[in-house]
A = this chain, B = another copy of it.
């Protein structure tokens, strides 16, 4: 087999560059046979930094023996034009899409550096911070106080991904999320904890393949009954039976990312 093609990719932005990286990354995953070295250059907000970036991009191209690839989300046109004078292959997000959008809207864009993440004094931002605090305070059934304030209540047996999903929903969407473990006592009693019954429309369940659950639990408590495959099978079967009986929507988290799980929950609970 020939050596894989290697290319260096820069994500250049006047903000954090997180959006540039996310979108560049989704394009690069379309080329399996190429090995990409990825470098993010954030906060490029003056001419000196733009010139430094060009020097770095060009030096990398010479080192690689192949010109670099550059994704930019620079709003400032002067800075963008400096970066575009590098020897690299440049794909410019704003230059590509802003003109057609201006034409469609019949408006000129204001060409200000985007604060797409919201700053510390915006109300969106405060909402996110409050949501994170709420979610941390309502992790893993710590308390059933203030559940009426919650936007979502996740239920699942231990180690299905409740905590990361809860935190992601809080951080990304500003949702207040509580999560509760389903435990053998709940299955013996054959019904939901009574504090949760009142909040049924907000409940969402996670489940998982028993084989996957036993792997995850083994890493935590090796050779325990808790982690054994028969016990994982039992807990999951009981949890699914309960969710079915109680009319709780759920999804199987086995092969899903936190982002996919969160997006599905938003859709199912019609939260946006």
Query: In the complex, what distance in Å separates the CA atom of A43 from the CA atom of B262?
Result: 12
Instruction: Check if A272 sits within 8 Å of B40, measured CB to CB.
Output: yes
Tell me the count of chain A residues lying within 8 A, CB to CB, of chain B.
77
Q: A96-B96, A116-B25, A255-B121 known; A104 and B69 CB under 8 Å? A: yes
Which of A14-22, A146-154, A234-242 touches B?
A14-22
Copies of this protein in the complex: 2
Which of A57-65, A107-115, A222-230 touches B?
A107-115
Query: In the complex, what distance in Å separates the CA atom of A98 from the CA atom of B30?
Result: 9
9 A-B pairs with the lowest CB-CB distances in the bound complex, closest first: A30-B109, A117-B257, A16-B263, A117-B259, A26-B114, A19-B22, A26-B116, A89-B104, A29-B114
Query: In the complex, what distance in Å separates the CA atom of A263 from the CA atom of B17?
Result: 9
- A47 beta carbon closer than 8 Å to chain B: no
Q: A105-B31, A167-B171 known; A254 and B120 CB under 8 Å? A: yes
Option from B97, B115, B133, B164 in Cβ contact (under 8 Å) with A27: B97
Give chain B nearest CB distance to A85 CB in angstroms: 18
Option from B19, B22, B163 in Cβ contact (under 8 Å) with A132: B163
Give chain B nearest CB distance to A112 CB in angstroms: 7
